[in-house]
Structure 1
Amino acid sequence: MGRQSSSVSIFLGFLLLSLYQSAMGRFVVEKNSLTVTSPDSIKGNHDSAIGNFGIPQYGGSMAGTVVYPKENRKGCRGFDEFGISFNSKPGALPTFVLVDRGDCFFALKVWNAQKAGASAVLVADDIEEALITMDSPEEDRSSAKYIENITIPSALIEKGFGENLKKAISGGDMVNVNLDWREAVPHPDDRVEYELWTNTNDECGIKCDMMKEFVNDFKGAAQILEKSGYTLFTPHYITWYCPQAFTVSKQCKSQCINHGRYCAPDPEQDFNKGYEGKNVVLENLRQLCVFRIANESKKPWVWWDYVTDFQLRCPMKENKYNKECADSVIRSLGLDLKKIEKCMGDPNADSDNPILKEEQDAQIGKGSRGDVTILPTLVVNNRQYRGKLEKSAVLKAICSGFEETTEPAVCLNGDMETNECLDNNGGCWQDKTANITACKDTFRGRVCECPLVDGVQFKGDGYSSCSASGPGRCKINNGGCWHETRNGHTFSACLDNEDSKCTCPQGFKSDGANSCADIDECKEKKACQCPECSCKNTWGSYECTCGGELLYIRDHDTCISKRATEVKSAWAAVWVILIGLGMAAGGAYLVYRYRLRSYMDSEIRAIMAQYMPLDSQNEVPNHISDDRA
């Protein structure tokens, strides 16, 4: 058995070496920003490498005070053994524990600090080197329980920076730092593109268990985001190739397809029992084709249904991890089995498989994304996610990839982030009367932005002022201008055709924004200047009257006699009647002339018909036919 295990290890080593040589790429360490805010002697910004376990606060930040314990400085033992607690006192900043690298797993250091009350952990490197990613231990069942339960973030810092922190702490300074993940994921637009690099092997230990649990938990959220067009998801599967010198060996034949081009490690790491690596490669390929065929049907989210159903119905431990079980799942989902089989191609062909060749090419880093070497790996907007594959943690990372104010509702619920607009309106402008605010809650924090209300855009800085602008603005709280109603008359200083300008209407004066005062036209405008006139000021206007039998004519500012007006009106009525009678007589005369002429024409035609044939009568024949012989 020892010899068998040795050959397996050698073969796996060759697989890993082949991957490294084929990629010739680079591993990118994903970082977050660490800012020292005090003391002044070490104040500044630094990079830190995000640990690949626990829950980084993607889209957010944390402030805390750094503590360097006097004992157990590598954190490899429980701090309770030394009577050390990192629980923060009420009102104090959270505690960030600084520990040294070495002697035990990174994850164990963080777990011990978390149990003692730490809110985050900084691990100081013990050699001068570029930052690396702290990963969880491989194939260690004893560590499975604590790795699953790590919920605090952690980061590796450079040795020199760690020494500066220790020196400041030992000198009695309070060292305050801010860990910031808000820019850890790019957020260029209103759609997030993300990938999940995985493997169908379900018996690889703690990471396989975590992967199965994550897929089941995240399925619902993933499908909602995908169906609504908020995200674009693509699954990927890691494969290796067998070095040419080993393609005819038993190991390559049992672990690879297409003559050693696409391989996977033996699930049990025993070539003589259980499933072989090529079973895993074939199921990887099948799941890729399920996604492609579902995507062609405009239903890419069906991939999540297939994967979760396959895990439930076709597990390795029940010996159901096979084509027959997979086909039954495919049929139950209504997918075209023949199309999927055609997509998979011939696994025995001595040629490239187009689908798997694309997957191997995609493993190599491009742009800001490094090579995919850790399994499983989540990539969000071309940045590799670091941390525990857990529903809320991954959803935070995806939500942090949306452009501010475009996040879907699932990103803004109370479990995901705090609505800062609820506290003093986030310090933004608001109109309490109209219930309008410039505060917009986003996943990364609030923004003060003048709103769009019922098609009307408000303009301003968003903090101290916002005012309605453009057509329709007067419908929204009267455009922020003065308006008042008295005795059934309403006046407003808002003009729809002017941007954010308030102008008092005719008859009023002031700035128009806060008030408009009535103008006394009788005194200020010298209204009603005729000798017989009497002026009375009204709200927004004035009234002029004339004494005695006089009538006021406003256009001419004069008074005239009511009798003269009546006489003129009477003569006008007479003329109207006379003109009407004249028109009626003229019309009657024309009708009489027309009827008389028609009568005379008919009489003349009757007389003429007695003396000559008319055109309508038949002509008299001028010969008689004779039929006598």
Structure 2
Amino acid sequence: MRAALLIFGGLRLIIYCFPEKLSVARKDSCLKVSSPDSIKGNHDTAIGNFGIPQYGGSMAGTVAYPKENRKGCRRFDEFGVSFKAKPGTLPTFVLVDRGDCFFALKVWNAQNAGASAVLVADDIDEPLITMDTPEEDAASAKYIENITIPSALISKSFGEKLKKAISDGEMVNVNLDWRESVPHPDDRVEYELWTNSNDECGVKCDMLMDFVKNFKGAAQILEKGGYTLFTPHYITWYCPQAFTISKQCKSQCINHGRYCAPDPEQDFSKGYEGKDVVIENLRQLCVFKVANETKRPWVWWDYVTDFQIRCPMKDKKYNKDCAEGVISSLGLDLRKIEKCMGDPNADSDNILLKEEQDAQIGKGSRGDVTILPTLVVNNRQYRGKLEKGAVLKAICAGFEETTEPAACLSDDVETNECLANSHGGCWHDEIANVTACKDTFRGRVCECPLVDGVQFKGDGYTSCEASGPGRCKINNGGCWHETRDGHYFSACSDSGNGKCACPPGFKGDGVKSCADIDECKEKKACQCPECSCKNTWGSYDCTCSSDLLYMRDHDTCISKRVAEARSAWTAIWIIILGLSIAAAGAYIVYKYRIRTYMDSEIRAIMAQYMPLDNQNEVPNHVSEDRA
């Protein structure tokens, strides 16, 4: 379980007897013993790089040291042991010895037995190290992902003191304190993520990719509000001058051996090479640089997550063309990014990558960065599982008291990225006002939408096509359509089972094109002896010779006299019908006028014998002195 630094083929390799990384750790949490008096006081610990530490808080408990399975490499229930605390008692901190199996497995077994935290006692006197997860072990990935309790490594001498106190029958009460694990000097938190674009490096890469995708929404909210200052970083190595012309250096390095990354498949004869990873790491650095210059540094999160989805190594899309497609969809200036990247074949330093190598060296309270991924909050390395809730706690612990943003006081960390980022780089149709951008709690996703009962289908990034009934209402269902000389044709049909099919008179795929069919040649229309055919766009015209007329329904010619006779009789019947309608109208008008005249005569005669209600009273002309 010790590490050896070797030079092989001109490249530095760290070899481990057990495939789990160890690095000298800063004493990043404090364990306070409240009893017994013999070991009372504060003791340094190093937080494990898995599980969920309670950043900003503390946890009290009682230490238990098992009589069997003391290294914790087997399930405790095999020995009938349970560490689950009884109601009213303090949680149990299980003390186990280092050795024989992975740190993470020890913690997993203790968690399953009911432990609330795990203390691992070192087996040699040395500076505290960081307990990390196995580098390549798919079998352990399942339990590593589900570890939720915190763990810490303690020194050998302190471990011996705890064991002696427990064997003497003393109750050992402790308090594991993370309140000062992250400095909190002001109202803004500065944090950085040391990451990698390689998506084929096993369990570690999978965990990193999941974290970036899940944490993106919260990260962008904090950045847009001015609460945090985020910076991504990428680790590179260099090839010694004497080996720059070797096959290994040429395949894994750029700029003549100055910046290198391991071969993704660990096979120099196939797949992608280490230099492909270095170039994409450099591109992601430049994406952040250019986005930061435009006051939108949070776009880095969009690029990285979209690149993971659209350009994975397993699909052979991990390349420049795919990356540039993602960059263009996010509205970034491609020329500026290319200029920032420089020439990877130049025999000179790359400014950005040189700065990255310098930044790997520890500064102040932050040690050297040797583990990928590594999160640094306010210049302190974060320890624990890379999980949204756990990391958010660590970031929130970095704010000065009472200055925490609402995200630290509530679980509601959400924004409509589709409105803020112009469809978030997803497919959209400006004409139909339809977008594949969908805002979620974790950030936006590119998912073809359902609009007015019409379902769109596609990858959500570059294309979405309407399907199902009603699809022709929205941008013609993505089918071919064209207007020419006042005539409109479309390949979309609601009864077409969701497929684009050229209309009668056309041929083609129905999506990108439909070409006019020459019915005179291909369909042999207008084939009667007297017929003459002329092709038109989407149809055809047929004429007959001499005094003949063409009948399209029967594809034949008939005499004009017959046609004229038919036309004459048609005209006569139209005239007769018109006269009948006119006569009926005149009779109705006549009856109406007669009735109106009679009504007025009757009213006049009756008015002579009796006053009508609607007549005005006759004025009284008799003078008052005659009354």
What TM-score range do you get, normalising by the shorter chain? 0.5 to 0.7
325, 332, 339: which is aligned to 1:342?
339
Bigger shift: residues 27-36 or 325-334: 27-36
Q: Show the 5 A alignment for 1:185-584.
A: 185-413=182-410
Of 154, 157, 171, the residue aligned with 1:157 is: 154
What is aligned with 1:51?
48
Give yes or no for contact 1:210–1:389 (8 Å, CA) kept in 2. yes
| Whole-Å separation in 1 of the counterparts to 2:357 and 2:38 | 49
Asked if the contact 1:57/1:153 (under 8 Å) is kept, the reply is: yes
Deviation at 1:43, TM superposition (A): 1.1
2:10–2:243 CA contact under 8 A, matched in 1: no
Paired residues of 1:28 and 1:369 also in contact (CA < 8 A): no
Separation in structure 2 between the aligned mates of residue 315 and residue 234 of structure 1, nearest angstrom: 23
Structure with a larger share of its residues in strand: 2
- The change in CA–CA distance for 1:27 and 1:78 in structure 2 (over 3 A counts) is closer
- 1:32 and 2:29 are equivalent in the alignment: yes
Question: Contact between 1:12 and 1:265, CA under 8 Å: does it hold in 2?
Answer: no
Cα distance in 2 between the residues matched to 1:44 and 1:144: 37
- What's the secondary structure of 1:48's corresponding residue? strand
Whole-Å Cα distance in 2 between the matches of residues 37 and 412 of structure 1?
31
One-letter identity of the residue aligned with 2:210: E
**Shift in Å, 1:13:** 8.1
Between stretches 315-324 and 169-178, larger displacement belongs to 169-178
Question: How far apart in 2 are the matches of 1:271 and 1:410?
Answer: 46
Q: Name the structure 2 match of 1:583.
A: none
Q: What residue is the counterpart of 2:456 in the other structure? A: none
Q: Aligned pairs, how many?
A: 401
Contact between 1:31 and 1:184, CA under 8 Å: does it hold in 2? yes
C-alpha contact (below 8 Å) 2:128/2:155 kept by paired residues: yes
> What CA deviation, in whole Å up to 9, does each residue of 1:468-508 have, x standing for no partner?
xxxxxxxxxxxxxxxxxxxxxxxxxxxxxxxxxxxxxxxxx
Decide which structure has the larger Cα Rg and report it: 1
Residue 98 of structure 1 aligns with an amino acid whose one-letter code is L
How many Å separate the matches in 1 of 2:12 and 2:351? 21
Counterparts of 2:10 and 2:345 in 1: how far apart (Å)?
24
Residues 15, 243 of structure 1: 8 Å contact kept: no
CA deviation vs aligned residue, 1:196-216 (integer Å, no higher than 9, x gap): 001100010010000000000
Aligned counterparts of 2:392 and 2:27: Cα–Cα separation in 1: 18
In the TM superposition, what whole-angstrom CA distance separates every residue of 1:384-416 from its partner, at most 9, and x where no partner exists? 111111100100110000000000111112699
Taking structure 1 as the reference length, what is the TM-score of the superposition?
0.62
State yes or no: 1:79 paired with 2:79. no
SS for the counterpart of 1:15 is strand
Superimposed CA distance per residue, residues 455-475 of structure 1 (whole angstroms, 9 cap, x where no aligned partner): xxxxxxxxxxxxxxxxxxxxx
Aligned match of 1:111: 108
Q: How big is each residue's C-alpha offset from its partner over 1:147-170, in whole Å with a ceiling of 9 and x where there is no partner?
A: 111111001111111111111111
Equivalent position SS for 2:133? coil
8 Å Cα contact 1:79-1:85 kept in structure 2: yes
Is the 1:58–1:397 contact (alpha carbons within 8 Å) kept by the matching residues of 2? yes
Structure 2 residue runs without a partner (length 5+)? 1-5, 16-22, 414-627
1:60 to 57, 62, 66: 57
2-structure distance, mates of 1:56, 1:12:
40
**CA 1:415–1:29 in structure 2 vs 1: closer, same or farther (change >3 Å)?**
farther
2:164 to 155, 162, 167: 167
Shift of 1:16: 3.8
Query: Which amino acid in 2 is paired with 1:376?
Result: P
2: CA distance between counterparts of 1:95 and 1:12?
A: 49
User: Is contact 2:374–2:381 with CA below 8 Å preserved after alignment?
Assistant: yes
| Cα offsets for 1:259-301 (capped at 9, x unmatched) | 0100100000000110000100000000000000000000000
Question: What RMSD, in angstroms, separates the aligned Cα atoms of the two structures?
Answer: 1.7
Check the 8 A contact 1:30/1:384 in 2, yes or no.
no
Amino acid at match of 1:108: L
Which position in structure 2 is the counterpart of 1:520?
none
Q: Secondary structure at the match of 1:59?
A: coil
What is the SS of the residue equivalent to 1:172?
Answer: coil
What is the distance in 1 between the residues matched to 2:125 and 2:24? 18
C-alpha contact 2:73 2:109 (8 A) present in aligned 1? yes
